[in-house]
Structure 1
Amino acid sequence: MASLVAYDDSDSEAEPHPAGGGNDADRMTDVSGVDRPSGQDFSPCAADITNEGAPLAQHPGEELRGERLPLVRLWKNDPGSCPSQRLQWPRKEPEVPCPSGALPRPSSLWTSHAPASHVPWAAACLKQVKPPWAAPNAPSHAQSMSETTHRHASSLQRKRGEDCVVPYTPKRLRQLQALSSETLRTPDPEPQGPPADRAPAPLRMPPVVSETIQPHLKSQFRETKVPRKVLFHLRGHGGPVNSIQWCPVFSKSHMLLSTSMDKTFKVWNAVDSGRCLQTYFLHSEAVRAARWSPCGRRILSGGFDFTLHLTDLETGTQLFSGRSDFRITTLKFHPKDPNIFLCGGFSSEIKAWDIRTSKVVRGYKATIQQTLDILFLQEGSEFLSSTDASTRDSADRTIIAWDFRTSAKISNQIFHERYTCPSLALHPREPVFLAQTNGNYLALFSAVWPYRMSRRRRYEGHKVEGYAVGCECSPCGELLVTGSADGRVLMFSFRTARRACTLQGHPQACLGTTYHPVLPSVLATCSWGGDIKIWQ
């Protein structure tokens, strides 16, 4: 048998063997399968690499030394790239006659007897193509040789640490494949919402009125009672809930609007099911204020990202978008003109915007740093602003009365105590308003000039401690409700200023409280912990 490795200086196989080499016992066979005379000291050539770790050989005629030659990479695709002409494949192979009607095939494909170590690495990795004349179910000789070569090459690869036969898959692609397989096994979690640059999906408000609200729409007098139990516990915000508001349209008042520091505002069905109807991802920073429009089909929102958005709930489109030059903390629609709203925040100026033109139509500037809350009086001809301006002994600019049309100050000597007022609330039946103070009490003021403060009625017992704790009156006007920095919900009698009830509402500060406009004794509260409770 002849080795597939050709040597330039080797003797031809047709030449006779040396004298004394005719006896088979005196002959020896090397690892390549070639019979050699025993008189000569032959060793495997550099190409005869086996899995048993056979030593590397020098050229014929040299004595075997104790050192090893460097390994030669035999798996190059280009035969011309081999470092030595000794280690190249024969350029021309004889053809073996094939059956009649078949194509001629090379002899190395059928009768190659070279050891597996002679096969180049790239050739071992190539996919063997079955000849067209082979039996359909019988494996070809080349396929069996390929399997044998692959086994030897795999063991050699593990020992030598060479390139892997399996194609390398990047780590990121493996993670994506694992994630895809995991997605097929488990259902998708609830999506966090679309990006800020995409319009939210329409709310698709049902045209029918809530069955719970329907019987109470025609009643004229609604007596408010103290709630006793929790009807729904709404969880879904990932940050403190700053404010809550029922829809002002009575037939749609089952919907509750909530704003949060988690950059979103939500609409809930807080009467029938307690489920979130829609989440809006329109702001890139905390949403400090959001208000229902008087028609109940739109929501105006403003946040710490200086942006304003008016969203249509039925179509999900943005009817108005503007950018303020300060962080927004309070928004109020004009009670007579729904196209005008006031915007206040971390600025010394309050601005009036017109939705139709998307422009500021009026400004109200004072020597303050921040506007905390806004309250309209006298059907929109006047409004009050609560600010953070205070001195050591008095707060002469804490509450300022403005003329809406002329932007003139009506009075800035309303509250003379050294506390700021984070929120204001108007009584539904009498011309008075309430001011939440950081002195841990509710102050009562007249809603007409000169806006005197009542000295006889003061509602206290709760804690504010720097939180923007809200307050409100019941629809009948007999009860006042306020939150507290320790999580409690307190109710007072409007006439006597006595405490009517105390609810252990939330584990953290209770920031907002609001009565339902139609249903008697239904109260909604929100907290710094991010949850909302519906009481009944």
Structure 2
Amino acid sequence: MDLLCSAYSNTSDDEEEQPKRQRLSLSSSNPPKPYLPFFPSSLSNPQTHAPISGRYISKRQRASMPPLPASLPDPVPLSSPFTLSGSISCAEIPHSISSLLKTKPKGHQRLNPISENLSATLYGHTKAVNAIHWSSTQSHLLASAGMDHMVYIWNVWSRNQKKACALNFHSAAVRDVKWSQQGHFLLSCGYDCTSRLIDVEKGLETQIFREDQIVGVIKFDPFNSNIFLSGGSKGHIKLWDVRNGKVVHNYNRNLGSILDVEFTMNGKQFISSSDVSGSNASENSIIVWDVSRQVPLSNQVYVEAYTCPCVRRHPFDSIFVAQSNGNYVAIFTTIPPFRLNKYKRYENHGVSGFPIKCNFSLDGKTLASGSSDGSVYLYDYHSTKVVKKIKAYDQACIDVAFHPVIPNVIASCSWDGSILVFE
């Protein structure tokens, strides 16, 4: 062992390999053998062969060898597209509220005023929230879609975690979200050119509906949850059948981007709103379509040169409204020839180019609208006057949604990513 140490300490790395081996071999009784480095016959250049583990390599040989490949980084675990952080069950809701959720109003009847404070602030989105939607079958759940690629399900009045689960199935910003009337199914769409159907109870993506355009809006048929409309950036409107994942009808008319779609009360027609700057024809900004015949019934409903980011029908009367970038909500009839009411409209809130939405209350007596000044405006349906203005956010209030059971509860969302639920 001492001879080995002295042999390596007294000779430089620049000396030839063979004398080293000869001096080492003198300490043994075996005769010295000539050193012949071993290289596999399959290698034409022995210097490119990888070093044998445990063998001494001289400085000269190390310099002539190719660099060793860099070690691969440890694989990064992929996050699950479905994260359950709370519960979607109504068991965690206070009894006083759960009893209200089970009470179904009849017709135009209002429920008694709520004595308990139902206000809630919901944080989770890191960017703007584009849309919110209450579940009609599980009315304690609220869904939200954001520019941060996320869809969140909120158990609004839970005693514990209000953010029930996070859905990260989209690879880009999510534009719209809608609950199906069948159980816990949720439909969302966005900038990744897809609409996606999620079984929230199982945490599974059941279907993907792919298009060649950004999908900006979706809407279920009011009488058949297996059918939904989608509208996108290329002006194409499609009617999809969830059961086979195929397009039933196409509605094309060289339109600009589709901003919103809405079925009429009987479900036999629908209204579309498109970007007039893209189509360069103001008479195409709002069109009433026949669902089955795929033809427009009227394309001269609204001739002003404003885009309308939102269209909503009244729950009982034969009218629909359109949120206009002219900073007002216009009123139209749903009976041919679908005339604009030139004498009444809802004013005082701001739109200013934001995709501001509006919605009717459960009894149809109130219209709520978001606003670019961060407020929620409540209008009397018949007089069109402002009943109340609620300053909710520092940035634009994008969407408002009345609760499907409790009439004086409203959810709203903002460009800053926050969501409020209040009486």
Aligned residue number for residue 72 of structure 1: 12
**How many pairs were matched up?**
379
Q: Name the aligned partner's letter for residue 295 of structure 2.
A: A
Is residue 182 of structure 2 the alignment partner of residue 295 of structure 1?
yes
- What is the 5 A alignment of 1:393-412? 395-412=282-299
Q: Tell me, in whole angstroms, the C-alpha distance in 1 between the residues paired with 2:280 and 2:90.
A: 55
- What is the 5 A alignment of 1:316-331? 316-331=203-218
Q: 2:248 aligns with which of 361, 365, 383?
A: 361
How far off is 1:229 after superposition?
A: 7.9
Aligned residue number for residue 257 of structure 1: 143
How far off is 1:204 after superposition?
A: 7.1
Give the match's secondary structure for 2:266. Answer: helix
- What is the 5 A alignment of 1:136-285? 193-195=79-81, 205-206=88-89, 210=93, 211=95, 212-215=97-100, 217-220=103-106, 221-222=109-110, 231-249=119-137, 252-273=138-159, 275-285=162-172
The one-character-per-residue Cα deviations of 1:303-332 (angstroms, maximum 9, x if unpaired) are: 111122211222233332221121100101
Q: Tell me, in whole angstroms, the C-alpha distance in 2 between the residues paired with 1:260 and 1:303.
A: 9
Q: Tell me, in whole angstroms, the C-alpha distance in 2 between the residues paired with 1:392 and 1:298.
A: 35
Query: Are 2:85 and 2:164, in contact at CA under 8 Å, matched by a contact in 1?
Result: no
How far off is 1:427 after superposition?
A: 1.6
Is residue 272 of structure 2 the alignment partner of residue 335 of structure 1?
no
Q: 1:306 to 1:227 in 2, by over 3 A?
A: farther
Query: Are 1:227 and 1:522, in contact at CA under 8 Å, matched by a contact in 2?
Result: no
Query: Are 1:329 and 1:346, in contact at CA under 8 Å, matched by a contact in 2?
Result: yes
Q: 1:391 to 1:276 in 2, by over 3 A?
A: closer
Shifted more, 453-462 versus 214-223: the winner is 214-223
The one-character-per-residue Cα deviations of 1:213-263 (angstroms, maximum 9, x if unpaired) are: 3235155422598999882111111221100010012xx201001011111
Is residue 15 of structure 2 the alignment partner of residue 90 of structure 1?
no
Query: Rg: which structure is higher?
Result: 1
Question: Normalized per residue, which structure has more strand?
Answer: 2
Q: Tell me, in whole angstroms, the C-alpha distance in 2 between the residues paired with 1:449 and 1:350.
A: 22
Give the match's secondary structure for 1:416. Answer: coil
| Percent of pairs with identical residues | 33
Is residue 350 of structure 2 the alignment partner of residue 463 of structure 1?
yes
How far off is 1:430 after superposition?
A: 1.8
Q: 1:512 to 1:172 in 2, by over 3 A?
A: farther
How far off is 1:383 after superposition?
A: 0.5
Q: 1:501 to 1:320 in 2, by over 3 A?
A: same
How far off is 1:407 after superposition?
A: 0.6
Q: 1:393 to 1:307 in 2, by over 3 A?
A: closer
Q: 1:224 to 1:472 in 2, by over 3 A?
A: farther
Q: Tell me, in whole angstroms, the C-alpha distance in 2 between the residues paired with 1:441 and 1:411.
A: 22
Aligned residue number for residue 526 of structure 1: 413
Q: 1:84 to 1:295 in 2, by over 3 A?
A: closer
Q: Tell me, in whole angstroms, the C-alpha distance in 2 between the residues paired with 1:493 and 1:347.
A: 36
State the TM-score, normalizing by the size of structure 1: 0.63
Q: Name the aligned partner's letter for residue 215 of structure 2.
A: I
Q: 1:416 to 1:225 in 2, by over 3 A?
A: farther
Give the match's secondary structure for 2:217. Answer: strand
Aligned residue number for residue 58 of structure 2: none
Query: Are 1:224 and 1:476, in contact at CA under 8 Å, matched by a contact in 2?
Result: no
Q: Tell me, in whole angstroms, the C-alpha distance in 2 between the residues paired with 1:376 and 1:47.
A: 89
How far off is 1:440 after superposition?
A: 0.6
Query: Are 2:85 and 2:163, in contact at CA under 8 Å, matched by a contact in 1?
Result: no
Q: 1:215 to 1:453 in 2, by over 3 A?
A: same
Query: Are 1:242 and 1:261, in contact at CA under 8 Å, matched by a contact in 2?
Result: yes
The one-character-per-residue Cα deviations of 1:108-132 (angstroms, maximum 9, x if unpaired) are: xxxxxxxxxxxxxxxxx9xxxxxxx
Q: Tell me, in whole angstroms, the C-alpha distance in 2 between the residues paired with 1:395 and 1:370.
A: 13
Is residue 364 of structure 2 the alignment partner of residue 481 of structure 1?
no
Q: 1:193 to 1:246 in 2, by over 3 A?
A: farther
Q: Tell me, in whole angstroms, the C-alpha distance in 2 between the residues paired with 1:515 and 1:205.
A: 20
The one-character-per-residue Cα deviations of 1:417-453 (angstroms, maximum 9, x if unpaired) are: 1111000112223221111000011111112111222
The answer to which structure, 1 or 2, has the higher relative contact order (CA under 8 A, 6+ apart) is 2
Q: Tell me, in whole angstroms, the C-alpha distance in 2 between the residues paired with 1:393 and 1:84.
A: 89
How far off is 1:87 after superposition?
A: 7.9
Is residue 299 of structure 2 the alignment partner of residue 440 of structure 1?
no
Aligned residue number for residue 199 of structure 2: 312
The one-character-per-residue Cα deviations of 1:180-234 (angstroms, maximum 9, x if unpaired) are: xxxxxxxxxxx99415xxx777997437695313235155422598999882111
Q: 1:447 to 1:46 in 2, by over 3 A?
A: closer
Q: 1:5 to 1:365 in 2, by over 3 A?
A: closer
Q: Tell me, in whole angstroms, the C-alpha distance in 2 between the residues paired with 1:393 and 1:237.
A: 35
Q: 1:358 to 1:479 in 2, by over 3 A?
A: same
Aligned residue number for residue 108 of structure 1: none
CA RMSD of aligned residues (A): 3.7
Q: Name the aligned partner's letter for residue 127 of structure 2.
A: G
Q: 1:81 to 1:502 in 2, by over 3 A?
A: farther
Q: Name the aligned partner's letter for residue 28 of structure 2.
A: R
Q: Name the aligned partner's letter for residue 214 of structure 2.
A: R
The one-character-per-residue Cα deviations of 1:267-323 (angstroms, maximum 9, x if unpaired) are: 101133461111111111111122111124211122111122211222233332221
Unaligned 5+ residue runs, structure 2?
A: 31-53, 55-68
Q: 1:504 to 1:224 in 2, by over 3 A?
A: farther
Query: Are 1:375 and 1:384, in contact at CA under 8 Å, matched by a contact in 2?
Result: yes
Is residue 308 of structure 2 the alignment partner of residue 421 of structure 1?
yes
